[in-house]
């Protein structure tokens, strides 16, 4: 009798565990490991939402994190990580407006917001473009074409209202860029992992393995974007290093600049060179020291001449590749120009273009076999031209010109906080460099570059608004 009671006690104790195990097993059988992973992640999602509700600006930091690793993860998994950016931005936007006050919202009355709003309105109008082949393509493509841009500018101006948040933005950007550079060096000197090798074998080797030498791409979408991102970070660090800091801080920034220059070089991205060259010219102009500006112009001219008209460094692959970008008979350039001629002929009777999402990746996914889907655009501006026509390209360039003019005006007006002004110049020079480099690559619309560029525009406006006589705060 006692033995029977013992067995009953044991059964009563383990029955709940067995029941939970059975239910969990049935759940796994029903929804699979992905669904199970989602269930296990649910507590962390709830914790994140609670944190985000109390601190909406964390949503922008989260988008930065996702932007940096999303492209790399796509080589390992087909999970739609990119859509998480949409979810986080939407939730952050709702929370941002619900928790903001009139002073916060009044900061949105600025040319950056107005300019991007015009572009967003036009891209929404493009949904009725008679040439458009797919509403689904428009939905997926319009996010990177305009919707992310306006949300990032608005949320930065609305929520990142302290220099501490600016410091965090810069630290996240520098930290992730450094990690990306280290990963690229690992690719170059230790080799690729299996997923990266499969990506190359699937066709990327045509553009990433030239003359037997790898173009490092890190965990970015491709070497072009990685090289532009490293050049962008190089420029920002060098300009910050010229600021009114102690020598130790200057040395750190300049050391980082050399580190990122190495990353730009191993990417083999010729178009990235325009970013530091043009950015430094912007810095010299805004520094208001015209003697230094003249010296800078002469220096850049000499560097250009050395690449264009001499054979100095021709034994170095990286220098020779940059030099080939200045060759008007470069085969790659000739192919691009030929594609642009074809697109020009196609758009003669299509002033609104072929519709957003009709070219490039989204075109191949949703309307394969069509002219725009099968004709490489390469350039961000050529893609905008192909998808929105001459009307869309004109509006887009006009909006970028508004950004350019606004940045110049507000930075020229800043005079009280020298460190903040230096930061504004660095961010603005980065925007100019990326805008110019986007003629050769589509970096302006690709994460993480697009995320940091449009947040930078928001910070430039904030730095201008913070520049008051009684504001004695400064960057460390």
pLDDT bucket at 356, cuts 50 / 70 / 90:
very high
Tokens, residue 238: 């060098």
CA distance 407 to 460: 7
Encode burial over 353-367: b for 16+ CB neighbours within 10 A, e otherwise.
bbbbbbbbebbeebb
- The share of the chain scoring above pLDDT 90, in percent, equals 39
Residue 144's domain spans which residues?
110-287+328-466
**Neighbour count for residue 85 (Cβ, 10 Å):** 20
8 domain-assigned: no
Mean pLDDT of the chain: 83
300 domain-assigned: no
Stated as kind and residue range, the H or E segment containing 210 is strand 209-210
Which of 16-20, 133-137, 148-152, 400-404 is predicted least confidently? 16-20
Tokens, residue 20: 């939970």
445 domain-assigned: yes
| Mean pLDDT across 157-170 | 93
Helix axes 163-189, 449-466, angle to 10 degrees: 150
Report the pLDDT value the prediction gives residue 330, as an integer from 0 to 100.
Answer: 60
The whole model's pTM is what?
0.85
**Number of domains present in the structure of the chain:** 1
| Mean pLDDT across 436-465 | 92
414 domain-assigned: yes
Question: What's the pLDDT tens digit per position in 30-47?
Answer: 545 445 555 556 676 778
39 domain-assigned: no
Nearest to 173 by CA among 417, 404, 403, 430: 430
441 domain-assigned: yes
Which of 268-277, 311-320, 457-466 is predicted least confidently? 311-320
Write the CB contacts of 403 (distance below 8 Å, at least 6 apart in sequence).
Answer: 111, 112, 115, 431, 457
215 domain-assigned: yes
| Mean pLDDT across 57-82 | 80
Phi and psi at residue 60, to the nearest 5°: -70, -40
265 domain-assigned: yes
Question: What's the pLDDT tens digit per position in 304-338?
Answer: 676 666 666 556 666 666 666 555 556 666 777 78
Q: Specify which residues 213 forms β-bridges with.
A: 210
Report the pLDDT value the prediction gives residue 325, as an integer from 0 to 100.
Answer: 57
Question: What's the pLDDT tens digit per position in 400-426?
Answer: 999 999 999 999 999 888 899 999 999
Report the pLDDT value the prediction gives residue 39, as an integer from 0 to 100.
Answer: 55
> Do 300 and 277 contact (CB within 8 A), yes or no?
yes
> Do 172 and 180 contact (CB within 8 A), yes or no?
no
- At residue 471, does pLDDT exceed 50? no
| Mean pLDDT across 270-288 | 87
């Amino acid at each position: 009798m006692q033995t029977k009671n013992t067995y009953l006690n044991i059964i009563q104790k383990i029955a709940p565990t067995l029941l939970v195990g059975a239910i969990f097993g049935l759940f796994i059988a029903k929804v699979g490991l992905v669904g199970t992973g989602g269930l296990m992640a649910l507590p962390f999602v709830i914790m994140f939402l609670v944190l985000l509700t109390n601190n909406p600006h964390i949503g922008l930091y989260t988008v930065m994190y996702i932007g940096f690793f999303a492209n790399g993860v796509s080589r390992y998994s087909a999970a739609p990580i990119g859509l998480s950016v949409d979810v986080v931005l939407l939730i952050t936007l709702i929370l941002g407006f619900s928790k903001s006050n009139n002073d916060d919202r009044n900061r949105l009355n600025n040319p950056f917001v107005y300019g991007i709003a015009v572009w967003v309105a036009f891209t929404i109008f493009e949904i009725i473009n008679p040439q458009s082949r797919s509403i689904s393509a428009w939905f997926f493509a319009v996010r990177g074409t305009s919707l992310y841009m306006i949300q990032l500018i608005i949320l930065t101006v609305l929520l990142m209202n302290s220099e501490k948040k600016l410091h965090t933005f810069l630290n996240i950007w520098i930290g992730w860029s450094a990690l990306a550079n280290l990963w690229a060096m690992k690719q170059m000197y230790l080799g690729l992992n299996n997923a990266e090798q499969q990506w190359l074998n699937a066709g990327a080797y045509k553009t990433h393995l030239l003359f037997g030498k790898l173009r490092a791409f890190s965990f970015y979408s491709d070497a072009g974007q990685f090289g532009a991102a490293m050049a962008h970070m190089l420029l920002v660090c060098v300009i910050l290093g010229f600021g009114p800091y102690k020598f130790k801080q200057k040395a750190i920034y300049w050391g980082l600049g050399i580190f990122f220059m190495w990353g730009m070089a191993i990417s083999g991205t010729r178009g990235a060179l325009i970013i530091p060259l043009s950015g430094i010219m912007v810095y010299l102009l805004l520094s208001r020291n015209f003697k230094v500006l003249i010296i800078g112009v002469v220096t850049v001219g000499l560097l250009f001449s050395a690449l264009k008209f001499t054979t100095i460094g021709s034994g170095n692959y990286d220098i020779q590749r940059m030099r080939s970008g200045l060759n008007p008979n470069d085969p790659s350039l000739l192919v691009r120009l030929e594609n642009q001629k074809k697109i020009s002929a196609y758009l003669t009777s299509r002033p609104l273009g072929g519709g957003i999402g009709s070219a490039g990746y989204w075109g191949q996914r949703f309307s394969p076999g069509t002219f725009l889907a099968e004709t490489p655009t390469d350039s961000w501006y050529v893609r905008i031209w192909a998808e929105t026509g001459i009307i869309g390209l004109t509006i887009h360039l006009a909006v970028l010109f508004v950004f350019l003019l606004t940045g110049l005006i507000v930075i020229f007006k800043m005079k009280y906080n020298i460190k903040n002004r230096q930061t504004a110049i660095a961010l603005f020079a980065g925007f100019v460099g990326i805008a110019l480099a986007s003629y050769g690559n589509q970096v302006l619309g690709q994460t993480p570059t697009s995320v940091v560029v449009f947040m930078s525009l928001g910070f430039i406006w904030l730095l201008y608004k913070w520049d008051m006589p009684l504001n004695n705060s400064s960057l460390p």
